[in-house]
Amino acid sequence: MFDNWEDLEKSIIDCKKCKLCTGRQNIVFGTGNKNAKLMLIGEGPGADEDRLRRAFCWTCR
């Protein structure tokens, strides 16, 4: 477990535990209130999410 979001984010920067690492340019960690009562977890990031480093980019358009 991690004590804070920053430690969790640092732990995944060089992650190579799945095949997503072979085609990604960036880590897509997510955005928003880190103290929210609800968290949405989606599937692996697509090309837009990778390029923009943002999760759920369909909401950004």
The pLDDT value recorded for residue 58 is: 64
Domain count along the chain: 1
pLDDT digits (tens, 9 = 90+) for 4-57: 888 988 998 888 888 878 888 888 877 788 888 988 777 778 888 888 888 877
Structural domain that includes position 37: 5-59
Position 61 pLDDT exceeds 60: no
How many degrees, rounded to 5, is the angle at CA 14 between CA 58 and CA 48?
15
The predicted pLDDT at position 54 comes to: 83
| Amino acid (1-letter code) at residue 8 | L
Task: Give the span between the Cα atoms of 10 and 1, in whole angstroms.
Answer: 13
Helix (H) or strand (E) run with residue 8 in it = helix 5-12
